[in-house]
Amino acid sequence: MPRQKAVAFQIYLTQGNEENAAAKLRELGNPANVMQPSLLTRDALPTVHFARFLVAPSITLDGKNIEASILYSANIDVAVQEHWNNLATAIGGFLHELFLLCEGYEAEKADDSLLIQFMSAHFIKTPAFYIGAPDRTVDRIHMEDYLHRKVAEVINERDNSENSSIAVLNKIQTWLSSDENKYKNRLSEESSKTPRIKWIPAFLTFLFTLVLLVVNGLIIYPLIHFFYERRSKPLGLDINQLNAEDLEKKMAPENIVYQNQLSQVFVTKTGLRKFVLWVNLRVTQILARVIFVKGKLLGTPTIHFARWVMIDGGKRFVFFSNFDGSYDEYLGDFVDNSGWGLNAIYGASRGYPTTKFVMGGGAYKIGEFLGWGRYNQVETQAWYSAYPNLGLSQIINNSLIREGLYKKSLSEKQIDKLLRRI
């Protein structure tokens, strides 16, 4: 079955080009800017679910300057090299003008092979990647959405003689096999099922995680508590204490389409705290692949994709997310369902609300946590969604409808359940 992949690069800007790069990236557009058509389109990038470009700001850290850089990330259905090819073909001229602001780019004109080589050279790995609806290509998501909408129309057009569940299903199946169904053959040939938890790997993962928690609880977390947490310096600000102009700029593109996106850049703590972050991200990756395959990450059901990436040689790390609903609802759900999980990862960032033995405190200081989150949020100058008006729950429900409609036989109870989904 196809599985979505994560791709990313980081390219440093030449000194003084931070604002120029940000302005250039805004030309790409995004779903939230209804007044400006995006250069990133489904026709040009048919295998991309979500993508974003942004500028990671320059920073002076421990007396040393880190230059601003361009970050790119995308969630894709194809191999990484094929994606570079597609990106160069789709927006090669734009990328050439953008990369002229970067270190090490010396091409005189746009050349696809040079652009691909430059992006490949700056590829960065993604240690933790969560997929809300695994094993679904962009094409499949759109086909299944089409199927749901058209089948709903068929149901609404039935007459009084077609009110029984079996009669309604027969009417739907007649439409499925008709030429009016533009995806007739492709939908029937689609064999991928919605992912199920594989219980043996899940059980082994559970045992591994349990052993890790015991070791951490007895040894690692006490060391972090006494040698790191008690010396940490939290930001200590709530949202009302942040710079109002900066906050307004970050919030401007939110809640315009059904989906939102979030980009945050954090300064990584050092020593044991950094090592534990590295371990926790890899554990998160395992859990995301084995257990969290049903559309919920630690109880939060609105996340299409999320990833954590180390940049600047590990001195900073970033969090990228695409989700449904508002920012406050999103983080509120996370705190309610898994504040301890937030603490385990983000407690490794400087300025995070003080935790207690890694799992306690931190995110549970909700006002301080939300202020810290907005403070570390950065503007995403350009982003793209292949289906900006589809929620994660809709995508999953659409898949279950397709599975049900193409089953060879259904009991009356199963038919009723399927019709309720529609």
Model pLDDT, residue 85:
97
How many beta carbons lie within 10 A of that of residue 391, not counting itself? 18
Model pLDDT, residue 83:
97
Taking the model in full, what pTM does it have?
A: 0.94
Q: What digits encode the pLDDT tens for the residues 92-133?
A: 999 999 999 999 999 989 999 999 999 999 999 999 999 999
Delimiting residues of CATH 3.30.70 domain(s) in the chain: 5-129
Q: Label residue 125 left, alpha or beta by phi (over 0 means left) and psi (-120 to 50 means alpha).
A: beta
Residue that is written with structure tokens 């954090």 in the block: 266
CATH number 3.30.70 given to 5-129: yes
Do the beta carbons of residue 32 and residue 327 sit within 8 Å?
no
Whether the pLDDT of residue 211 is over 90: the answer is yes
The first and second tokens of residue 422, run together, are 């529609």
Give 378: exposed, middle or buried? Use CB within 10 Å, 0-12, 13-18, 19+.
middle
Whether the pLDDT of residue 215 is over 70: the answer is yes
In angstroms, rounded to a whole number, what is the distance separating the alpha carbons of residues 96 and 105? 9
Whether the pLDDT of residue 234 is over 90: the answer is yes
| Rg of the chain in Å (alpha carbons) | 23
